[in-house]
């Protein structure tokens, strides 16, 4: 059921972007429903993360739900042809493109298997280049002979971050050459640093750099690699904004538009009993 809700929301979001300009009312209605369904999808994820006490993702999903509901409301109320309303279509385009790219790799077995194998092979080659003895079985990499296996799953491929940056770049009105350069820069840095991140985690785990294997894995993965990944994504975003000032302008325009609508909602008069 969740998959149906998700793909339904993405289809409606993309439809909102593709509807001809002369039929704005239809497009904005589709976008409003699409954002609403997107909020429903993330509400189900919120319940899941709350159940397993993953409070970091609980917070992130709560932010996404709030933003999705706000976008749904603004799409419903902003069904006109003004330039400000087109800001909503840019944000909708980014969400639709990013969602379709990411969830295609989640749902389509061929794409999912391909990217996992591709990233696993890159990790194995890097480990071997550093002289780490290993063996592999399927998508599992073992230290020496079947010791302390690490399974490479979709979350190890950085496809979420890649999909986000690709969506932002493709949604911006900029010359093709600069967009291609931005794609090469962002995808390249994210992929290479993700491979090195996994190599670091595996090596720390196998060689017990921070104590017992499980303690070393936790320290390398959660305490060191996760914040480092955030800093790298921040750096990539900074470089992207330098390469594509149109993207920064779009983000600022969206912020002004959304914050203005929120202020209007908060300052709206209430009825007294």
The dihedral sign for the CA sequence 176, 177, 179, 183:
positive
The whole-number pLDDT of residue 273 equals: 47
Q: What share of the chain is helix, strand, coil (3-state, %, to 5)?
A: 80, 5, 15
| Mean pLDDT, residues 174-189 | 93
Mean pLDDT, the chain, whole residue set: 88
What are 148's two structure tokens? 């302390």
List the chain domain ranges: 1-107, 109-246
Q: Is the pLDDT of residue 72 over 70?
A: yes
Q: Over the stretch 217-227, which tens digit does the pLDDT of each residue have?
A: 999 998 999 88
Q: Is 151 helix (H, G, I), strand (E, B) or coil?
A: strand
pTM for the predicted model, two decimal places: 0.86
Distances in Å between the Cα of 7 and the Cα atoms of 4, 150, 166, 186 are 5, 31, 19, 26
Q: Please report where in the chains the tokens 């209605």 appear, as a residue.
A: 29
Q: How far apart are CA 236 and CA 105, in angstroms?
A: 22
The whole-number pLDDT of residue 141 equals: 93
**CB neighbourhood size of 126 (10 A):** 17
Q: How far apart are CA 43 and CA 61, in angstroms?
A: 7
CB 71 within 8 A of CB 92: yes
The whole-number pLDDT of residue 265 equals: 73
| Mean pLDDT, residues 159-176 | 92
Q: Is the pLDDT of residue 13 over 80?
A: yes
The whole-number pLDDT of residue 270 equals: 52
Higher-confidence position of 137 and 146: 137
Question: What is the 3 state secondary structure string of the chain?
Answer: CHHHHHHHHHHHHHHHHHCCHHHHHHHHHHHHHHHHHHHHHHHHHHHHHHHCCCHHHHHHHHHHHHHHHHHHHHHHHCCCCCHHHHHHHHHHHHHHHHHHHHHHHHHCHHHHHHHHHHHHHHHHHHHHHCCCCEEEECCEEEECCCEEEEECCHHHHCHHHHHHHHHHHHCCCCCHHHHHHHHHHHHHHHHHHHHHHHHHHHHHHHHCCCCCHHHHHHHHHHHHHHHHHHHHHHHHHHHHHHHCHHHHHHHHHHHHHHHHHHHHHHHCCCCCC
Q: Is the pLDDT of residue 126 over 50?
A: yes
Higher-confidence position of 24 and 189: 189
Q: Is the pLDDT of residue 272 over 50?
A: no
Q: Please report where in the chains the tokens 């904005």 appear, as a residue.
A: 28
pLDDT band with cut points at 50, 70 and 90 for residue 18: confident
């Amino acid at each position: 059921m969740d998959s149906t809700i998700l793909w339904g929301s993405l289809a409606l979001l993309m439809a909102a972007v593709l509807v001809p300009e002369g039929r704005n009312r239809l497009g904005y209605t589709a976008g409003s429903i699409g954002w609403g369904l997107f909020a429903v999808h993330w509400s189900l994820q919120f319940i899941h993360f709350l159940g397993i006490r993953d409070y970091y993702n609980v917070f992130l999903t709560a932010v996404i739900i709030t933003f999705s509901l706000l976008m749904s409301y603004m799409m419903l109320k902003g069904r006109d042809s003004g330039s400000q309303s087109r800001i909503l279509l840019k944000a909708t385009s980014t969400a639709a493109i990013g969602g379709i790219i990411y969830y295609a790799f989640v749902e389509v077995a061929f794409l999912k298997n391909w990217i996992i194998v591709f990233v696993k092979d890159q990790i194995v080659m890097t480990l071997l280049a550093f002289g780490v003895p290993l063996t592999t079985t399927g998508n599992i990499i073992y230290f020496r002979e079947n010791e302390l296996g690490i399974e490479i799953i979709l979350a190890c491929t950085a496809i979420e971050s890649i999909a986000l940056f690709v969506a932002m770049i493709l949604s911006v009105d900029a010359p093709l050459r600069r967009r291609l350069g931005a794609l090469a820069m962002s995808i390249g840095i994210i992929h290479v640093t993700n491979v090195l991140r996994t190599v670091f985690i595996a090596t720390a785990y196998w060689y017990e750099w921070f104590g017992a294997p499980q303690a070393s894995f936790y320290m390398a993965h959660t305490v060191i690699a996760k914040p480092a990944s955030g800093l790298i994504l921040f750096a990539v975003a900074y470089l992207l904004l330098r390469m594509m000032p149109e993207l920064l302008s779009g983000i600022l325009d969206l912020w002004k538009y959304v914050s203005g609508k929120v202020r209007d909602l908060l300052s709206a008069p209430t009825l007294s009993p």
